[in-house]
Structure 1
Amino acid sequence: MSLFNELSLWSEYPIVAFDTETSGPYPLESEIVELGAVKWHQGKIIGQFQTLLKPSKPMLQDNINIHGITNEMVADAPLMKDQIVPFCEFIQDSILIAHHAPFDLGFVAIEIEKAGLVFPNNVHFCSSLISRALLHTTNHKLQTLVKELNLVGGDAHRAYDDAYACLQVFFKAAEKLDVASIEKLKAVQAKKLAWSDYSLFNKSSETIKSIVDAIQKNKTIQIVYEGGQSKNKLRPITPKGIVRNPDGDYVHAECGLDNQRKRFYISKILDIELV
């Protein structure tokens, strides 16, 4: 049962801003390699969480170029399975914020499920969505917001520094509210965010579970897809990663018709057959 009263001021509750750095863009295919978070309550920072994480396979240079975290840096880092419990304890009973939150929630939700844990009790906000509604800047990328709002940025694309920047963006946006309640923030955000919406193993559809199984076993499947040149006909795909998103869940896969990586929306997959 939620302890959050949506008519209450958001500032009455602990706020945790968090960020992930990953080995690639798609959950299951890629993994979290750094996790950072900062906790605020009653006007001050009361906690920090930061750790590098060792992935199961080496990162590619394209991903290293994004965040600067090298394979050497994570060679002796702890495994996610040993850090997910303390992270869930850190964020429990807080208002949880991330910039482009669906991305981070998707990666972390998988690790919570893999560990056999119950999803923490949180209210979720995306500082990107809220900033788009309330702040007038050139764009709403985190580093643009940091620069144009004169915030403390730190190292871009490092988890703790980005989490702290996210927290500052949230505060700046919340200043624009006439009523600073949780209910008002949800209305401004417009899109619903909840842990259960990012489940891949326990609270997902049979279609998603079949795709997850194919990814984990590196199997090709046949799908009937409502779109493209082969509309409503069987096509082979090899799923690589799956993304759950308020704008539509999708699988990123190699299409057997042209050997190209493509996005296939789950809602448009009419049938699945195992090869």
Structure 2
Amino acid sequence: MNLDLPLNQYSFVAFDTETSGAYPIGHDVVEFGAVKWFQGQEVGRLQFLLKPRELMTEFIIGIHGITNEMVATSPQMSEKIEEIHNFFKGSIVLAHHAPFDLGFLTVEFEKARLSLPMEPALCTSLLSRKWIHGVENHKLQTLVKHLQIDGGQAHRAYDDAKACLHVALACFEKMGEGVTLKRAIESQGKNLWWKDYSLMLNSEEKIKVLIEAILNKKDVDMIYQGGSKKGETRRLTPIGIVRNPDGDFLQAHCHQEQTAKRYYMNKIGDVALVF
């Protein structure tokens, strides 16, 4: 697509996901919220709760306040994913900590055999670090207070999506009139494209094995070329896979150390399911 047009020539979809846990494949989206913006106006919105595959823990419920009872009769993601896909069409997406949200939705698009959007994504966490100064941190709620935005209810998807939009607009204003999408992408310091979060269609054998283990709750024996036990076989219970600009990783429970750990994909050697 053409990245050289001024920002006001594009439509934007700011979105947020609340999830049943931190890791794609192993966890699910439990609330989706989005707002579409074009040339100074809100032109569409989506918001709905979604039923996860498994009950949420009290720890997760404490983060977003969405209870198991609230989602008990909600549709599953498979019933809503096409509507989400259509809502995104032709728009640049905005999200706060965008790699997190892109990771979850890319998996859902691939499970539904829907094409990944071709448009780039902008991360308001990264943009705010470049363009918004004088704040103690760049968390969404800190920026909401600093910019005096009506943030609604924190950690609810639509309200956070709308807050994200207004953080982006504040950043765009600081960039100056006529700034292009290419310049905005450059200013966030990282290229964020949907295709870079592909997992379910990945042809790499070790990723296929890990996905199967996560979905079917199986253990694996894995050789890891890192840490204090470099090259040794470890028995793990995989929890989820994260694709990240700073390095893709597997989150898994280590049987030997009895703790959850992060294993970088580029250091993972042979992986085999335990039967």
TM-score normalised per structure 1: 0.95
Aligned pair partner of 2:101 in 79, 101, 104 = 104
Name the CA distance, whole Å, in 1 between partners of 2:52 and 2:182.
38
Number of matched residues?
Answer: 272
Superposition deviation, residue 97 in structure 1: 0.6
Superposition deviation, residue 114 in structure 1: 0.8
Name the CA distance, whole Å, in 1 between partners of 2:273 and 2:27.
23
1:12 maps onto 2:9 in alignment: yes
User: Which residue number in structure 2 is paired with residue 246 of structure 1?
Assistant: 245
Structure 2: segments with no counterpart, 5+ residues? none
Superposition deviation, residue 230 in structure 1: 0.8
1:169-180 equivalence runs, <5 A: 169-178=167-176, 180=179
CA contact (8 A) 2:14 2:93 kept: yes
User: Which residue number in structure 1 is paired with residue 156 of structure 2?
Assistant: 158
Structure 1: segments with no counterpart, 5+ residues? none
Name the CA distance, whole Å, in 2 between partners of 1:203 and 1:110.
11
CA contact (8 A) 1:196 1:203 kept: no
Superposition deviation, residue 55 in structure 1: 1.0
Instruction: Render the CA deviation track for 1:145-177: whole Å, top value 9, x for unaligned.
Output: 000111110000000000000000001111121
Amino acid at match of 1:267: N
* Aligned-pair Cα RMSD in Å: 1.2
| Moved beyond 6 Å, runs of 4+ | none
User: Which residue number in structure 2 is paired with residue 211 of structure 1?
Assistant: 210
User: Which residue number in structure 1 is paired with residue 196 of structure 2?
Assistant: 197
Amino acid at match of 1:190: G
1:105-144 equivalence runs, <5 A: 105-136=102-133, 137-144=135-142
CA contact (8 A) 1:14 1:41 kept: yes
User: Which residue number in structure 2 is paired with residue 67 of structure 1?
Assistant: 64
Superposition deviation, residue 204 in structure 1: 5.4
Name the CA distance, whole Å, in 1 between partners of 2:120 and 2:7.
10
Q: Specify the SS of the correspondent of 2:155.
A: coil
Name the CA distance, whole Å, in 2 between partners of 1:86 and 1:274.
36
1:39-58 equivalence runs, <5 A: 39-58=36-55
CA contact (8 A) 1:207 1:266 kept: no
TM-score normalised per structure 2: 0.95
